[in-house]
Structure 1
Amino acid sequence: MDRRVHAFTDDALGDDDAVALAERLRRREVAPPELRAAVAARAARVEPHLHGLALDRTADPVTGDADGPLAGVPTLVKDNVEVRGWPAGHGTRAFVPAPSREHAEVTRQLLACGLDLLGTTRMPEYGLNASTEFADAEPTRNPWDPRFSAGASSGGAAALVAAGVVPLAHANDGGGSIRIPAAACGLVGLKPSRGRLAPNATGTRMPIDLVADGVVSRSVRDTAVFLGAADRGRRNPALPPLGLVEGPARRRLRVGLLLESPTGAAVDADTRETVTAVAELLAKQGHEVSDAVTGVGTRFVDDFLDYWGLLAFSVVTGGRLLHGRTFAPHRLDGLTHGLADHYRRALARTPVFLHRLRRVAATHAELFTRHDVLLSPVLAHTPPEIGWLAPTVPIEQLTARLLDYVAFTPLANVAGAPAIALPAGATAGGLPVGVHLEGTVGDERTLLELAYAIEADRPWRRIRD
């Protein structure tokens, strides 16, 4: 039985990615109002099934720079980024969001690229979960099969891009939140190096800044064009310039194959088979593939869990300072409270786990003296059914399930390194399976070049085929 939900049709959007739409706009074959009307119609078609939108502003968009490389292309932003005049709800019912006073820096980067902002996408409460599910609201569902999770925390963005509502959408990533939903929904999702894009306000308040903004897209070139334009518009002199990456390179790379996760979680058969097939493809392309070991050990998992709890604790205890008098801690979900309780028990360990996490960057850099890129799963297993990671699951059980699922992505966040999810495979039932490429700090170029090569030899499935 085919359960796929999508809105692809013969309208102004067609099957085009963002780059192709921008080219059609420049040739005046289509106009931005036509694209917005198509987005509205497509959203109306899939929203009753997927529940990916937080705020619909298709009738009153914020328009981007007419000279940007993606001028006039419609997109959506995640519900934790400020757009002037729009509320940012952070996926929670613990407060009543007021209209934002100013654009966030990343919002200005999106607009500088020319993108038109048509609304916001749903996310789990404060981005703490790996599935966009809620204690008292409909979950965001996977368009390949709505019985399954769309991932998180950029789950709404990924579901709507995969379903064809917009060609790409803003996302951000503090432990895998670009790459997890990209893998679950069959998309490309690149988490940039720390500092590559404008700083994220949430990340800069953390003791260790884990958060990077980016996009989820259906093609490698959409991600490459966005990231290149954002980097040109706001150069970070501490990182190598990126420029526009337009295709694969011919250089031979040392690819480290990583199939054993830091959490010790078992990798399921579909995921292992997909990653192994990509490793074989890279070897055929002339790259040297050898086994890799992260070197961080299982203590990294305990330290990351403590830090994850610290973030939840900060929400519970500091929410009123951030959101004002409407903030009500008792309305936070079970995962947020459970993680905060975990941190209360870990409070005395704070200086020690922060010290160890800060040392991860050096361990990660040493790994890249032996390899140019790491190849691994994005997730230890394919997307779970809705309910498996719901915030109503008892906290000990939910935490264990999350650690078994989100087994590979957090390392890049702590190290500040770039990493990309690619939709390289599928289960027998048709659910996407993602592979993960991770690079050294500042080397998004290598990841994009390799992603182009994989896309050319192993083209992504399309949901409408």
Structure 2
Amino acid sequence: MGPGEYPIGGPAAALAARVRAGTITPADVVTEALARISSENRKINAFTVVRADRARAEARELAARDDLDELPLAGVPVAVKQNIAVAGEPTRAGSAATSTSDESVDHPVVARLRAAGAIVVGLTAMPELGIWGSTDEDGRVTRNPRDVGRSAGGSSGGAAAAVAAGLVPIAHGNDGLGSIRVPAAACGVFGIKPGRQVVPSAIGADSWAGLAENGVLATTVSDAALALSVLAGRSDLAELRAPQRLRIGLAVAPPSRLVRMDRHWTAAARTAGARAAAAGHQVEPVELPYGDAALAMLLRWPTAGLADAARLPNPDLLQPRTRRHLALGRLIRRLRLVRPDQVDRTEARMLEFFEDFDVVITPTLAAPPPKARQWSRRGWAANVISSVRYAPFTGLWNLIGWPAASVPMGVHPEAHTPLAAQLAGPPGSEASLLGLAAQLELSN
């Protein structure tokens, strides 16, 4: 079965429609999804937990609901990243240092998915505490379904791999410095990180220094919009509309002159700009006023996991690369190198820029994803350099808390891995980004 192919029901919206109409049952859907996972997961290691028995039981319970015909995600199999609570499962967060106790209550995001009729078939792989740009744990490397010799990215690498391999049509992810958009781009699927307070908090109020948001990875923009509408509790987000003529800035230069750009990733952004222009939007080459945003992002990265690490029951089991990263974070905090004015200056520059523009298009990545290997056993410097080298574009939008998405944009002619463009906009622009992404998807 190829990526994105669903013999029973097609994309999530069509699948839910068939369940609501009674032409298939939730049990049929779950059985098919579990068969796909059983067949394909061993090749890519997208899932760390497969909830086979529980998912079947939940499918039977769903079929008995008297509101089945009203549920937007009726019977849709979904994956959840293993750093938010799923009742009956431990929240591992990619680390042996976390608790092995089962959660008693679902995270609000999971509760909303279940209330909408979705069935959680499994938990997806991620790097330790979501810190790193490639995914492996317990000796298992999460591989890119488009090229198993390369990483699926991180930190929502398992989620991206599960969607790209056609194991589920929709997956939950969260994004602290690009952790949805980076693996989405690497694996050739659509991913969106909403702005602040659109969806319930990613992990906890103090987790990831306020940088992280829960979002969605999906095979189609319409499926992502449907899932995001459920997570946000906003039915309007599911109604994709072609946006009125947008003023779009095309910004292909990276945030730092130290970043080396792969010309094909630059070309991907330009392709997105050309398609947007063909759809009737005003597109203008620009330079984003990054200023010192790259430094602000780098300083926050080592501090982002400190609150999570402080709650760990077994911190001595953290990986060496993570211990060093967090030690650097504590030093940065003691020296008071992370200051609110850094974000304020960056956001002020962006607010001024967006007086003249509605959306900006950039490359999502600067290079193809790294090789699939056990990065957790490599040194701190190797991990940092790898992450920074290929994913410099995404963190800005976490720093200021604005929405951003990654849209597939063809295939790299040399690496034969997916290409993608990033769309970003000011607070409240999720609907515009989704509408524009759908236009670019149709012209793909």
Q: Does 1:176 align with 2:174?
A: no
Task: State the Cα RMSD in Å.
Answer: 2.2
Matched to 1:87, the amino acid is: P
Find the aligned partners of 2:121 and 2:338 in 1 and give their Cα distance: 44
CA contact (8 A) 1:312 1:336 kept: no
Structure 2 segments unaligned to the other structure (5+ residues): none
CA contact (8 A) 1:190 1:216 kept: yes
CA contact (8 A) 2:160 2:183 kept: yes
- Identity fraction in percent: 32
Post-superposition Cα deviations, 1:267-295, rounded to whole Å, max 9, x if no partner, equal: 20221122112212222222222223332
Q: Does 1:34 align with 2:28?
A: yes
Give the alignment partner of residue 254 of structure 2, picking from 244, 261, 275.
261
Task: List aligned pairs for 1:80-91, cutoff 5 A.
Answer: 80-91=83-94
Structure 1 window deviating more from structure 2 (342-351 vs 109-118): it is 342-351
Find the aligned partners of 1:90 and 1:448 in 2 and give their Cα distance: 29
Matched to 1:23, the amino acid is: A
Find the aligned partners of 2:123 and 2:177 in 1 and give their Cα distance: 21
Matched to 1:386, the amino acid is: A
Structure 1 residue 452: deviation in Å? Answer: 1.1
Q: Could you say which residue in structure 2 is the equivalent of 1:200?
A: 202
CA contact (8 A) 2:297 2:396 kept: no
Matched to 1:18, the amino acid is: A
Structure 1 residue 79: deviation in Å? Answer: 0.3
Q: Could you say which residue in structure 1 is the equivalent of 2:98?
A: 95
Distance 1:362 1:113, change over 3 A: farther
Structure 1 residue 424: deviation in Å? Answer: 1.1
Give the alignment partner of residue 397 of structure 2, picking from 412, 426, 430.
412
Task: List aligned pairs for 1:265-414, cutoff 5 A.
Answer: 265-297=259-291, 299-316=292-309, 318-320=310-312, 327-350=313-336, 352-387=338-373, 390-414=375-399
Q: Does 1:189 align with 2:191?
A: yes
Structure 1 residue 109: deviation in Å? Answer: 1.7
Find the aligned partners of 1:119 and 1:352 in 2 and give their Cα distance: 37
Structure 1 window deviating more from structure 2 (345-354 vs 20-29): it is 345-354
CA contact (8 A) 1:270 1:382 kept: no
Find the aligned partners of 1:341 and 1:263 in 2 and give their Cα distance: 25
Give the alignment partner of residue 131 of structure 1, picking from 131, 134, 139.
134
Q: Could you say which residue in structure 2 is the equivalent of 1:463?
A: none
SS at match of 1:201: coil
Q: Could you say which residue in structure 1 is the equivalent of 2:242?
A: 248
Q: Does 1:12 align with 2:8?
A: yes
Matched to 1:445, the amino acid is: A
CA contact (8 A) 1:172 1:214 kept: yes
SS at match of 1:59: helix
Find the aligned partners of 1:352 and 1:8 in 2 and give their Cα distance: 42
Q: Does 1:58 align with 2:52?
A: yes
Structure 1 residue 440: deviation in Å? Answer: 0.6
Task: List aligned pairs for 1:421-436, cutoff 5 A.
Answer: 421-428=406-413, 429-436=415-422
Structure 1 residue 205: deviation in Å? Answer: 1.0
Matched to 1:225, the amino acid is: L
SS at match of 1:60: helix
Find the aligned partners of 1:142 and 1:103 in 2 and give their Cα distance: 29
CA contact (8 A) 1:17 1:222 kept: yes
Distance 1:360 1:118, change over 3 A: same
Q: Could you say which residue in structure 2 is the equivalent of 1:106?
A: 109
CA contact (8 A) 2:222 2:240 kept: yes
Structure 1 residue 33: deviation in Å? Answer: 0.7
CA contact (8 A) 1:376 1:437 kept: yes
Structure 1 residue 68: deviation in Å? Answer: 2.0
CA contact (8 A) 2:191 2:407 kept: yes
Aligned residues: 433
Distance 1:335 1:363, change over 3 A: farther
Find the aligned partners of 2:166 and 2:336 in 1 and give their Cα distance: 44
TM-score, normalised by the number of residues in structure 1: 0.88
Distance 1:263 1:391, change over 3 A: farther
Q: Could you say which residue in structure 1 is the equivalent of 2:38?
A: 44
Q: Could you say which residue in structure 1 is the equivalent of 2:73?
A: 70
Matched to 1:213, the amino acid is: N
SS at match of 1:262: coil
Distance 1:446 1:27, change over 3 A: same
CA contact (8 A) 1:174 1:212 kept: yes
Post-superposition Cα deviations, 1:320-360, rounded to whole Å, max 9, x if no partner, equal: 4xxxxxx3223211331121122233234426534312443
Structure 1 segments unaligned to the other structure (5+ residues): 236-240, 321-326, 459-465
Matched to 1:113, the amino acid is: A
Matched to 1:434, the amino acid is: A
CA contact (8 A) 2:16 2:75 kept: yes
Distance 1:145 1:372, change over 3 A: same
